[in-house]
Structure 1
Amino acid sequence: MEIVNTAFRLFAEQGYDAVQMKDIADACDISKSLLQHYFPKKIVLLSTMLNELMLSAFLYSNEQLTSLSAEQRTMIQMSFLLRLLDENPKIEHFIRDVFESQELTTEIMLVTLDWLEAIGVDGETSAIRYAVNFALSGGMSVFFKRKVLKASVETIAEHIGQGFYMLLGEDQQKINRIYLSTAKYCTDRYYEQFVNYLYKHATIDFDSEMKI
């Protein structure tokens, strides 16, 4: 975990491409060969921390929003995650690097699919996979250009959630009702609860990367 945390800090500060395995080994005060004993390639290390980050974020929904429907939890989780990125440039930098890699984008999709299955989102696996891929890839492209496009984080999160459920064949009126029913949760109070929960349960050390 010391290696993972050190690498996360370096990736967040400098960007994935700029950091070499030797840089990570030096920062951990270990040899490159020892680093590669645990993580043979840099992308394996990034994949590990990505899984840790995603699973820790979903833990809040799994444990704190259990009384809500799968659709409501999906909408709320997307809103919280995008706000987290918006308010923490270093983490956004890290996630932007992830989405520039097809291999790592696929990793995000797989973790998300597992979570959607766990909370009971209805639909064929292939259809859910397609909907996640389309909604997230398009939505995150807009998110990373939000300042140029003058698009709010709330609007982007709403469109990602609605786009996902529309691709699964849900009625537009039902989707609107679901979105409106989540409004009371997408507030500072619940967001701060989510961030504190993430900070407490994440295996990655967010001390220098995330505002509390």
Structure 2
Amino acid sequence: MSRQKNMKKRNEILSIAFILFSKKEYNEVAMKDIADNAHISKSLLQYYFPQKKDIVAIMLTDLLQKSFEYIDYRFVNIKNIHLKLSVYTNLFFSAIFKQDHLKKFINNVIRNEDLLDLWINIVNDWLDVLDDTKLKNDIKDHYLIALTFSMSGGSKLLSKDNLEVSGKYIARIMIITFMNISDNSNSEIGQIIEQTEDLVTNTNIKDFEEYYQKRLIWYVNKEE
């Protein structure tokens, strides 16, 4: 019973924190702000989450894992690791551009080097467990380098409102960069882009959004 109560409080804290981080910049949200809004003491908050970045890290990890799950079950027949990553990136960034609160939260992740590194490593771990012989036999660091370069540069476009780029454009830039660094040919890259377009066009982005939102107890959809 005690464990259930603790998990309930933990998720309440995460919900409050998500709302705050989807309204303000990362540096504008203090631990005291989260504690006050959750109606708990700062010491109790730190019992659950010692540091502010721990809170964002948990939410980011949950969000990515649940959105990965959608890709793994919805596109179970896709075996090509580049195609699976491309489809995921398209859906994820398209969802971000449809939800201002999620875009603000992700921008807070991008602007924090430790959190951006966490994001990159989580994606890298997901790719590592996919059933792909080429990835298993290749040097893992090579893929991490490709992810770091493509995600760091591509995700930064998210905060450049003056450039008026779309989620699909960011995803395209990221997968092209990733595949180039991974020594894929222009022909191979073109095939992935074309196949991605077909798959994403036939996928309801709302299904993707609802999948991860319903499975994240702390998630607050402010657009509803």
TM-score over 0.5 (shorter chain): yes
Seen in structure 2, the aligned counterparts of structure 1 residues 153 and 205 have a Cα distance that, compared at 3 Å, is closer
- Whichever residue aligns with residue 91 of structure 2, its letter is F
CA contact (8 A) 1:75 1:182 kept: yes
- Whichever residue aligns with residue 5 of structure 1, its letter is S
CA contact (8 A) 1:52 1:204 kept: no
Q: Distance in 2 between matches of 1:41 and 1:153?
A: 31
Superposition deviation, residue 188 in structure 1? 7.0
Q: Does residue 182 of structure 1 match 2:196?
A: yes
Provide the residue aligned with 1:132 in structure 2: 147
Q: Does residue 44 of structure 1 match 2:59?
A: no
Q: Distance in 1 between matches of 2:24 and 2:100?
A: 12
Q: Distance in 2 between matches of 1:91 and 1:72?
A: 24
- Whichever residue aligns with residue 127 of structure 1, its letter is H
CA contact (8 A) 1:109 1:132 kept: yes
- Whichever residue aligns with residue 162 of structure 1, its letter is I
- Whichever residue aligns with residue 75 of structure 1, its letter is S
Superposition deviation, residue 9 in structure 1? 0.8
- Whichever residue aligns with residue 67 of structure 2, its letter is A
Q: Give 2:165's match in structure 1, choosing from 134, 138, 151.
A: 151
Q: Give 2:83's match in structure 1, choosing from 68, 72, 79.
A: 72
Local SS of the residue matching 2:190: helix
Q: What's the CA shift string for 1:5-34, capped at 9, x where partnerless?
A: 111111111222111111111111111111
Local SS of the residue matching 1:36: helix
Q: Give 2:37's match in structure 1, choosing from 21, 27, 33.
A: 27
Q: Distance in 1 between matches of 2:121 and 2:193?
A: 24
Q: What's the CA shift string for 1:114-148, capped at 9, x where partnerless?
A: 11112245232100000000001111122322x42
Q: Distance in 2 between matches of 1:182 and 1:157?
A: 10
Where in structure 1 do 4 or more consecutive aligned residues deviate above 3 Å? none
Provide the residue aligned with 1:59 in structure 2: 69
Question: Please, which runs of 5 or more residues in structure 1 have no aligned partner?
Answer: none
- Whichever residue aligns with residue 124 of structure 2, its letter is L
CA RMSD of aligned residues (A): 1.7
- Whichever residue aligns with residue 201 of structure 1, its letter is R
Provide the residue aligned with 2:92 in structure 1: 81
CA contact (8 A) 1:62 1:119 kept: no
Aligned residues: 209
CA contact (8 A) 2:97 2:166 kept: no
Q: What's the CA shift string for 1:69-90, capped at 9, x where partnerless?
A: 2221111110111111111111
CA contact (8 A) 1:52 1:203 kept: no
Seen in structure 2, the aligned counterparts of structure 1 residues 120 and 170 have a Cα distance that, compared at 3 Å, is farther
Q: What's the CA shift string for 1:142-178, capped at 9, x where partnerless?
A: 2322x42243332221121111111111111011112
CA contact (8 A) 2:151 2:174 kept: yes
CA contact (8 A) 1:12 1:93 kept: yes
Local SS of the residue matching 1:13: coil
Superposition deviation, residue 103 in structure 1? 0.8
Question: Please, which runs of 5 or more residues in structure 2 have no aligned partner?
Answer: 1-10
Seen in structure 2, the aligned counterparts of structure 1 residues 12 and 63 have a Cα distance that, compared at 3 Å, is same
